[in-house]
Structure formats: structure tokens, C-alpha cells
């Protein structure tokens, strides 16, 4: 039997009386692309926070390639090969786009505490250049992140997590804040690159068009529980999902 990329086993997380994630089990195999859908507050982002160790589950455990990573914290989870992008981009607002990318390159290559060699190293610059070109951010490289439009910040946030060359990539609403015109081009850039590297991807998304087009499998959340899990078309066709996610009667 092959070991799954990620195994979430009977995980619950309560905030006081609210059970944000309630006895959730989910197994994702290597190379899969899974889209998570659900209304606001259904537990999608909490699940990502639990997988990356940002939150400790109230009960249950999480295995990454068979290793227990329950609650070990984002830094150690990232070091094992899990990267994450955020619904609200997490960037260094006062620094330039290029600074943000170069810091990611330096930390990823184990140079976070290097206080002697320059951050602006030739080899790192060419790597940053390639990344910025791929994500159409080259023109904004020398501008500060605070001056970047929301869509640009979102793309940069995703780009930084891709830069880490993860085995598992978790994306929280990668296209929210990106203009309708640009969202497909972002995903068209991103998804083939991830597939090419066989990066297992789990992404939370409200936009069902994006789910239909880019996910192989959909997982629907409602009230902290998984109410459907399977091929995208099947999940979206289920009455319970249409009721809970689309609000259909």
C-alpha cells in the first residue's frame, strides 16, 4: 500500500463552544489536486491551519508521508516540504517585491542567518528573475509591496510558496482579490507548473468555475464536517452540496 501525501485522521478543533473542524478525516495521495469548497466559517481555512501546525487540534492526528506532524508548527512543517499561501497575502509590506522574493530564496537555501554574504547575489537574482517573469511580476520588482495592487500581492504570495519547491502545496483562495480577467491566467500559469513537478495541491476556493477547471477532486465542507468528497462533477452535483455551498433550495 502506498503512503498518502497527507492523512488527516479524525481531527477536531474547537474554539470555545464552536467546533470549527469536527472529526474530519481526509487522505490525499501524491500528485492529486484537491479543491476544498464550502461557505464562510465551514472550517476550510482552519483545516489548512491545522495541517501546517499553526493550530493544535483538539483531537485527532495529521500524518505527512506517514510522519506525525500534528501541531509541530509552520516552520517545521515547511521544512518537511509543505508550503502554504494565504487568503490575505502574508508579505513584507514595506520591502520591495524583489526583496520579498530574495528573502524567500535565501531562507529556502538555508541562508536565513547568514550575515556576511549579500542578499542580492547574482545566482539568487537570476532565480528571482525567472520566478517574477513566470508570474508576470517583473515590471513591479523594484516597487514596494504596499504599492502593489491586491491581485499582484496575491500572485506574489502564491509565488513565494511555489518557490519553496514543496511536496505539498496548500493554497487558501488563490484567486480571491485577483481580477476576473486575470484569475484564469494566474491558474493557467500555476497549475501546469505544479503538475509538471508532481506537487500535490490542496486549494480552498469559493469560485466553482476554478474548482471545475483545475481540481481533480472536490471536498465539500459544511459546519466543520466533510459532507462530500470525490470527483468534482459528482460532488458539485450532489443535492447536499448544492444546498450547503450554493444555497439552493
| Least distance (Å) between residue 163 CB and another protein | 9
Q: Is 142 one of the binding residues for another protein (CB under 8 A)?
A: yes
Query: If we measure between CA atoms, which residue out of 28, 43, 69, 39 comes closest to residue 168?
Result: 28
Site residues (CB under 8 A) for another protein, limited to 42-61: 52
- List alpha helices for 17-137, DSSP H: 44-51, 74-80, 97-108, 122-134
User: How many residues make contact with another protein (CB under 8 A)?
Assistant: 44
| Least distance (Å) between residue 89 CB and another protein | 9
Supply φ then ψ for residue 145, to 5 degrees: -60, -35
Q: Which stretch binds another protein (CB under 8 A): 77-85, 174-182, 216-224, 225-233?
A: 77-85
Q: Is 195 one of the binding residues for another protein (CB under 8 A)?
A: no
**Residue nearer to another protein on the CB measure, 44 or 84:** 84
| Least distance (Å) between residue 114 CB and another protein | 5
Q: What DSSP element (H or E) covers 156? A: helix 150-163
C-alpha distance across the termini of the chain, in Å:
42
Q: Is 72 one of the binding residues for another protein (CB under 8 A)?
A: no
Q: What DSSP element (H or E) covers 183? A: helix 180-196
Per-residue contact flags (x/-) with another protein for residues 78 to 107, judged by CB under 8 A: xx---xx-----xxxxxx--xx--xxx-xx
Q: For residues 144 and 89, what is the distance between their CA atoms, to the nearest angstrom?
A: 14
Which residues, 6 or more positions from 77, have their beta carbon under 8 angstroms from its beta carbon?
Answer: 51, 52, 53, 64, 69
Q: Is 114 one of the binding residues for another protein (CB under 8 A)?
A: yes
Per-residue contact flags (x/-) with another protein for residues 18 to 37, judged by CB under 8 A: --------------------
Q: Which residue has the cell 462533477?
A: 233
C-alpha cell at 236: 458539485
Q: Rule CB under 8 A: which residues touch another protein?
A: 52, 73-75, 78-79, 83-84, 90-95, 98-99, 102-104, 106-108, 111-120, 122, 125-126, 128-129, 132, 138, 141-142, 160-161, 164
Amino acid at each position: 500500500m502506498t503512503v498518502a501525501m497527507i492523512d488527516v485522521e479524525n481531527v477536531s478543533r474547537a474554539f470555545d463552544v464552536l467546533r470549527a473542524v469536527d472529526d474530519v478525516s481526509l487522505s490525499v495521495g501524491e500528485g492529486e489536486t484537491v479543491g476544498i469548497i464550502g461557505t464562510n466559517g465551514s472550517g476550510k481555512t482552519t483545516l489548512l491551519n491545522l495541517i501546517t501546525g499553526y493550530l493544535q487540534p483538539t483531537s485527532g492526528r495529521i500524518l505527512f508521508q506517514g510522519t506525525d506532524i500534528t501541531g509541530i508548527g509552520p516552520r517545521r512543517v515547511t521544512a518537511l516540504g509543505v508550503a502554504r499561501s494565504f487568503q490575505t497575502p502574508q508579505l513584507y509590506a514595506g520591502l520591495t517585491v524583489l526583496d520579498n522574493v530574495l528573502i524567500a530564496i535565501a531562507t529556502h537555501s538555508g541562508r536565513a542567518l547568514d550575515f556576511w554574504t549579500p542578499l542580492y547575489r547574482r545566482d539568487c537574482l537570476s532565480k528571482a528573475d525567472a520566478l517574477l517573469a513566470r508570474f508576470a511580476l517583473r515590471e513591479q520588482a523594484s516597487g514596494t509591496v504596499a504599492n502593489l495592487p491586491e491581485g499582484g500581492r496575491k500572485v506574489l504570495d502564491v509565488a513565494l510558496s511555489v518557490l519553496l519547491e514543496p511536496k505539498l502545496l496548500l493554497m487558501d483562495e488563490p484567486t480571491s482579490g485577483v481580477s476576473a480577467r486575470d484569475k484564469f491566467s494566474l491558474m493557467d500559469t500555476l497549475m501546469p507548473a505544479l503538475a509538471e513537478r508532481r506537487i500535490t495541491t490542496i486549494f480552498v476556493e469559493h469560485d466553482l468555475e476554478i474548482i471545475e477547471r483545475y481540481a481533480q477532486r472536490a471536498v465539500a465542507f459544511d459546519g466543520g464536517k466533510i459532507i462530500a468528497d470525490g470527483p468534482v462533477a459528482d460532488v458539485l452535483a450532489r443535492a447536499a452540496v448544492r444546498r450547503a455551498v450554493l444555497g439552493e433550495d
